[in-house]
Amino acid sequence: MRHTRNIQRAAVAATIGLAVSFAPPALAATGTTSDALRSAVSADNIMNHLEALQEIANANGGNRAADSPGYEASLDYIEQALEDAGYDPVRQPFSYDRYEFTSAALERVSPNAETYTYGTDFLDMSYSGAGDVTAGLAAVDLNLAGDRASTSGCEAGDFANFTAGNIALIQRGTCSFRIKADNAAAAGAAGVIIFNQGDVVPGDDRLGLFGGTLDLPQAAIPVVSTSYATGAELAGLSGVEMRLAVDAGVSRIDSFNILADTGGRADRTVVVGAHLDSVSEGPGINDNGSGSAAILETAIQLATTDATPTNRIRFAFWGGEEDGLIGSEHYVSQLTARQLKDHAVNLNFDMVGSPNFVRYVYDGDGSSFGEKGPNGSALVEKVFLDYFKSQNLPVAPTAFDGRSDYFGFINNGIPAGGLFTGAEDLKTAEEAAVFGGEAGAPLDPCYHAACDTIENVNQIVLEEMADAIAHATLTFGMTTSAVNGTAKGNGAGNVDLEYKANKLLK
């Protein structure tokens, strides 16, 4: 999972009330409950899988990143466990260009020379072009007053008076970073500095330094991001000359998803997914070994029960998530219009054992964030809310922001939902009062770090979330009613997504 999550804290209080009184969990089908499967899926067994993933990382340079020996060994482990349970797992290959960053520099040559520090004052944009340029700085359609609403760089006309060869100073807002960068390149810019928008949005940092992505293919010119304060300062100076340098490229990556099916109706396929790759900085045991291990154990225990799914359940272990949701998007991209219609729902589980957790449920009906998932996503949310209510466990909403592997599904009209226990965001005092833990501390203090080890998993919440995963998997696997989704075979979802992988898109 990837960069600052956009959680509206005010929505928490309105949602946690859903879990304070008893109600029976939604039934999987007439006469069918999830009791047996939930009892069989245990945190102890999930931790055994996580121990194995930790050992794999230890033996392979400390990580399980895409296209690494650690990822290959993780694939082998998942495949063997599925085969032992009676499944016939299939590897789905895919290839992509991965952004490879080496270094970056940003300096104000004049007036008043200043060198900016990478990681503190500025960042490269993922898929930035390479280059080392020294040139004048030219502001592009900025709005530094009032509400600071900005369309800076979003239209070719913004560059009508731009002098080719200059570095463009562009304000964040409205359109994607890629559109801004491409418009600047088309106008002859030698490089781009995109600074934060500068307004105040609850739960969304529009002032500080931010990380963003231009997405594939690699941009034609170097592009970096900086804070509102830095951008506004540069905009207020006359005759600014800057040096901007980015050393970066792309490398070709060959990777795999693993898919394993139960029997059941193929025209109502239930995809239960989690990503298997870690970042290169660490072993990725919470992000996202926890989700992978939880759905693996669900698959194993499902195979031992007497339940025969009415609908095909496809357990999916995605690759390339940390590089931009590559594996899951490849999967969806290979589906025909008919096959899209045959996908009833996607259940996504990205990080379900965070140490300083909140129990987040995706806001399928849009009641908390104003943007609902594709038709049927509200039902997915309700299944989770009803379940947690039956267990007297409080929950909070989280938005479909494009930051995990549901992205490709909801963009193609397939209803989705899932669970999440938190990444780098700080727990609020309100959340601490409801869920326990430490206010003001990260939900996962080892997010994307070397310390995301077996010691970085809260086994209590892992058990709770795993039970909910088992319940929802069986519920949608056994239902005899259609999940109302994919109304337009190739139709896109109606969610205005701002993230893709761990980077902002706009």
Q: Please, which residues have CB within 8 angstroms of residue 143's CB and are 6 or more apart in sequence?
A: 149, 150, 152, 171, 173
What is d(CA 124, CA 118) in angstroms, rounded to the nearest whole number? 8
SS3 of 59-86: the string is HCCCCCECCCHHHHHHHHHHHHHHHHCC
426: DSSP letter: B
Could you list the active site residues?
A: 321
DSSP H/E element including 261? strand 241-261
Q: How many CB atoms lie within 10 A of CB 201?
A: 11
Instruction: Tell me the HSE value of 370 on the side-chain side, using a 13 A CA sphere.
Output: 3
- Cβ pair 222, 106 in contact under 8 A: no
Q: Compute CA distances 53 → 11, 30, 49, 276, whole Å.
A: 35, 38, 6, 10
Q: Which residue type does 117 have?
A: T
Place of tokens 């399980």: 64
Question: What is the rounded CA–CA span in Å between residue 490 and residue 29?
Answer: 29
Q: DSSP string spanning 109-124? A: EESS-EEEPBTTTEEE
Lookup: tokens for 293: 């291990």
Kindly give the residue spans of alpha helices, DSSP state H, lying in 204-325: 228-235, 291-304
**Of residues 156, 159, 125, the one with CA closest to residue 140:** 159
Tokens of 407: 């992205």
- In terms of Cα–Cα distance, which of 259, 346, 269 is closest to 309? 269
Residue in 95, 103, 101, 124 with CA at minimum distance from that of residue 249: 101
